[in-house]
Amino acid sequence: MWPFFFPAQRRLESARLLSPGFMSRSGRWRKDNTARKEKRAAATKAYQEKMEGQSGNTNAIAKGAEDYSSWSQEKLIERVTLLENELKLKNLSLTAPKSEKKSFKKPRAERTFDPSKYSTRLIALKLAYLGKRYNGFECQKSVTPLPTIEEELWKAFNKGRLIFPNITNPLQPGEVNWEGCEYSKCGRTDKGVSAFGQVIGIRVRSNRPLGKRKEKKVVDQLGNEALYDEGSGSASADKELDGGFNTYARENTVEMAAPALAPSRLPEQEGPTPDLGLSDPDFEEALNFDPIADEIPYCSLLNRLLPPDIRILAWCPAPPQDFSARFSCRERQYRYFFTQPAFMPTPTQLELPDQKGNKAPEGKMRDGWLDIEKMREAAKLFEGEHDFRNFCKVDPGKQISNFERTIFYSDIEEVDDSTSGLAFVNDAALAPRSEPQTGNPKIYTFTLHGSAFLWHQVRHMVAILFLVGQGLEKPSIVSELLDVEKNPGRPIYEMATDTPLVLWNCVFPREDDPERKDAIQWHYVGDDTGTGDYKYGTAGIMDELWNVWRERKIDEMLASTLLNVVAKQGMEAGELTLARKKGSRSQKVFDGGDMPRLQGVYTPVMNKLKMDRVEVINERYAVRKGFENSADMKLQGFRRLNNPNPVGNTPTVEDAD
């Protein structure tokens, strides 16, 4: 290695000889270190001198404090002022706010929204919801423990800017007020009740361009002609009153409508609506705008804003001319779900005698099981037109005197296992694997189709059917309760629970259709061209409902598996014996809930206490509210209750609702 390094070493030594100021790396480090030490020592000395000076000042102040009595007033004031200023500076240094971090994001400016620039249209929506988490469909004036379906719809319509109530903040719309939206609803389901075919009608924002301004010739009294601007569809007159925040129909706009469902009940109009001519400025725009493909995707938009257990299923772009979701509906269909067995059966050797000491007879249904054939026999007695005052809850505030309703169909049906097993996944498009299996326990429904229903009517009807199925009543009990001349007052019996009840469908037939087929042209989610992902895509309606179903399915599977595990443990059910020989059992009465009610000795329905006749209930309520009688309350309606008439203003027949 010497031959390679020797020349370099010689060059280094020559550099040292030629450069008297040359210093090696180690020498430079020692020199720098010495300088740093000297600098540190000087700083330490200066700090000590400073501290000694401050200590001297403190001592001087302390010593001076002893002689404050000898200080002059001017000197004392000067000293106090100095100390106060020092204290303020010290406090400011301690409480100085930290500098906020600078944000490089531009503040998001709130986009101004002018409703008068948009046209509107009347549509119908079909929706479904699971009612267990809600306090019914209709919004209540009082505070409810749970939200209502209408409240959720109200928030979604406002957040999506589909309606324009006169409010300043659509994200916090406040109380529900559908004024100006032409809003109507078909069924007012109660707390806990679900719906798979609820229908509402509402006027919403549209993508259709506003109508162009039109000029109309006007001749004044002197015979002079002038052009009068009729205005566009921007609702400028309304804008002056409420800032344009309304959803009323705009002027000079084109709107689709199907033929009336009941032409005979249409009010007389001043004249037919004029058709668009070739010279009309709206004709070209009417041809260029597709009322379905170019329209706002109402269903998918609302489904993004609604809770996952409320879904919009379909929409109708052209409701009939006389459409009202409430009054145009001619058939409502309900289904009440229950299991067979209804509750946990008891092994034969473990059954106790009733409180009269009687054992269950041989032909009697075992506790928990329902006689489906007897229930079918009783259900068929509901069909036809009957007075259902003994199958409902009377609301005296409405002063209802007509309780006749028509039932088109009433039966007990076994639910095909495709419903509980989701057989649609076996469709060829979704790669079927195996056929679903059937067996006990089974699912049944009380299926009911009728023209209209009274308050809690379905739940009272199914409660009687459950008593028949348990063998506690005969099927003829239905006929006895329908005979209002013989039984004008309803026996006080418990109605069925709410959760298993579903408003299955609402039908809007034409008045001349004896088969009562639905005449509304529904466009279901995904059916329109290019919208298939709204149904089966990510975050589509099927994707969201699958998540809801799977959560509950796992709960069901865990509960059923645990039930099977416990049933297989230990001795067989037929080998078990009673822990006591004496005792009696209370009658278990099934009401559709998760567990039966213990009722002691069962009292037949016709032996229970009976309510007063409906006429007596209505009369008593009217007098308590300050009316002369029930007829007086019907004459005045609810105006006196909600909006009392001024003194001296006597209501007439025309004032009645």
Cβ proximity of 560 and 553 under 8 Å: no
- Helix-helix angle 298-305:541-568, to 10 degrees: 50
Rounded to whole angstroms, the Cα distance separating 455 from 333 reads 15
Whether the CB-CB separation of 486 and 480 falls below 8 Å is answered with yes
Output the CA–CA distances (angstroms, integers) from residue 167 to 141, 163, 175, 194, in the order listed.
Answer: 19, 11, 10, 31
Give the separation between CA 535 and CA 525, rounded to whole angstroms. 6
Single-letter amino acid, residue 625: K
How would DSSP label each residue in 279-324? Answer: T-HHHHHHHH--TTTTS--HHHHHHHHS-TTEEEEEEESS-BTT--
CA atoms within 13 A on the CB side of 578: 14
Angle at 151 between CA 149 and CA 153, to 5 degrees: 70
The structure tokens 């509901």 sit at: 382
Radius of gyration (C-alpha) of the chain in whole angstroms = 42
- Chain-centroid distance of CA 281 in Å reads 42
Say which residues have a Cβ less than 8 Å from residue 341's Cβ, sequence separation at least 6. 368, 369, 370, 440, 441
Q: Measured on CA atoms in the order 341, 342, 346, 351, is the torsion positive or negative?
A: negative
Residue 429 DSSP class: G
For residue 413, give the H/E element and its range.
strand 404-414
Give 97's Cβ-side CA count (13 Å radius): 3
Long-range contacts of 421-430 (CB under 8 A, 24+ apart): 422/549
Catalytic residue status for 190:
yes
User: What stretch of H or E contains 237?
Assistant: helix 236-242
The answer to whether residues 521 and 316 touch, using CB atoms and an 8 Å cutoff, is yes
Q: Looking at the DSSP assignment, which residues form a beta bridge with residue 280?
A: none
Strands (DSSP E) contained in 138-222 are 184-185, 194-206, 214-219
From 190, 387, 518, 612, active-site residue: 190
Q: Which phi and psi (to 5°) does residue 504 adopt? A: -75, -45
Neighbours of 147 (CB within 10 A): 15
SS (H, E, C) 110-145: CCCCCHHHCEEEEEEEEEEECHHHCCCCCCCCCCCC
Q: Which two tokens stand for residue 281?
A: 């400025």
How many Å apart are CA 121 and CA 253, to the nearest integer? 9
Helices (DSSP H) in 363-518: which residue ranges?
372-380, 417-421, 457-469, 477-482
Nearest CA to 117 out of 230, 213, 242, 205 is that of: 205
Q: List active site positions.
A: 190
